[in-house]
Amino acid sequence: MKIGIVGASGYSGEVLVKLLLNHPRVTLAAVTSRTLAGKALAAVIPSVRGADRGLRFSDSDPVALAAGDIELYFLALPHGAAATYAQALVAAGKRVIDLSADFRIAELAVYEQYYGGHRAPELLPSARFVLPELTPPAWKTEAKLVAAPGCYPTSILVPLVPLLKAGVIGREHIVVNSCSGVSGAGRKLEETFLYVERAESLKPYGLLKHRHLAEIEEQLALHTGAKTIIQFNPHLAPLRRGLATTITVPAARGATIETLYGAWRAAYANRPFVQLLPAGETPDTAHTVGTNRIDMSAVHDPRTGNFVITSAEDNLMKGASGQAVQIMNLWCGFDETDGLL
């Protein structure tokens, strides 16, 4: 099966390229970029030297892509740009997995509040937000277009959703602190992302209304049946890759650490990419880098009555491109772990 990547010059595009070059079930047949057309893949992504099968960036005219024989496209584009490609490709009957925010928010008004005008609102009904461990499997037949989740939302939804559904925790006073590696910002040429500014620096940012909040809270509501407002405090840490999330939430009356782990086990038994660590053992971003895993654990604090829930993932893998490949695997009927172990 031939697949293509539109816009592979960013960090998540680069990881996608590596994963798909090595995937046992698909052939990476096109990597497109308006600005890089004609360049050898390895000239732009030097880490694939010798493994790039001679691929070159091709031009990325949506109409031409729609006319070709590639069956599935990943869009690794800035939001806004993705919608335009999705229109052409979906119209031509291609499957599309979009890594941008364009189709993550089902409710148009919420999207517009966080991101501005939407370029392809007519596609929203046929788009599905798919977090494979949480989204009911009907998407595999319904979707024409899949929105892959963001890095922060994945690190928060995977631990929280089963606990809210099982009533192990309440909906009040949920406090989420996350620390992200710098690649989370993409390859942006801003002074704050220079090596000298980031090395040896840790700082909160985007404390109010970080864009991922829209996605997190919409999904919490959809999965758990009620509006849930969280405090979300993102931080920038001197990591190339990695995302650590620590959630503090009051335990529901009668809930114990065993109840909590029981809810997790019920939700994630046999899910290859969710690893539950024992209470007291904390996940470490470094242990997840290069993998598609999310590692999680929790403790109950009898002094405060809170659970403290921790997760770690690679922001470019389970938080972006690895998860997008996982989605493809499920959508196309491959083994869920193909190309991801």
Cα separation values, 226 from 105, 164, 165, 172, Å:
16, 10, 10, 12
Q: Is 156 helix (H, G, I), strand (E, B) or coil?
A: helix
CB of 119 or CB of 210, closer to a second copy: 210
Token readout for 95 is 């499957």
Interacting positions 46-65 with a second copy (CB under 8 A): 46-47, 49-51
Q: Which of 149, 70, 65 is nearest to 106 (CA)?
A: 149
What's the closest the beta carbon of residue 235 comes to a second copy, in angstroms?
Answer: 7
Q: Name which of 126 and 304 has its Cβ closer to a second copy.
A: 304
Give the H or E element holding residue 197. helix 195-198
CB neighbour burial string for 286-307, b if at least 16 within 10 angstroms, e if fewer: eebbebbbbbbbbbbeeeeebb
Of 86-94, 126-134, 170-178, 326-334, which part binds a second copy (CB under 8 A)? 170-178
Q: Per-residue x/- mask for a second copy, residues 10 to 49, rule CB under 8 A?
A: -x---------xx-----------------------xx-x
d(CA 89, CA 80): 15
Does the annotation count 332 as an active-site position?
no
Residue type, 162: P
Q: Indicate the DSSP class of residue 91.
A: H
What track of x and - describes contact with a second copy for positions 205 through 234 (by CB under 8 A)?
A: x-xxx-------------------xxx-x-
For a second copy, give the closer residue by CB, 12 or 87: 12
Q: x-or-dash pattern for a second copy, window 173-202, by CB under 8 A?
A: x-x-x-x-xxx---x-xxx-xxxxxxxxxx
* Options 123, 151, 168, 174, the catalytic residue: 151
The 3-class SS string of 46-80 reads: HHHCCCCCCCEEECCCHHHHHHCCCCEEEECCCCC
CB closer to a second copy, 120 vs 168: 168
Q: Rule CB under 8 A: which of 272-311 touch a second copy?
A: 272-273, 275, 280, 282-291, 293, 295, 299, 301, 303-304, 306, 308, 310
Give the range of 30-38, 54-62, 156-164, 171-179 binding a second copy by CB under 8 A.
Answer: 171-179
- Mind telling me the catalytic residues? 151
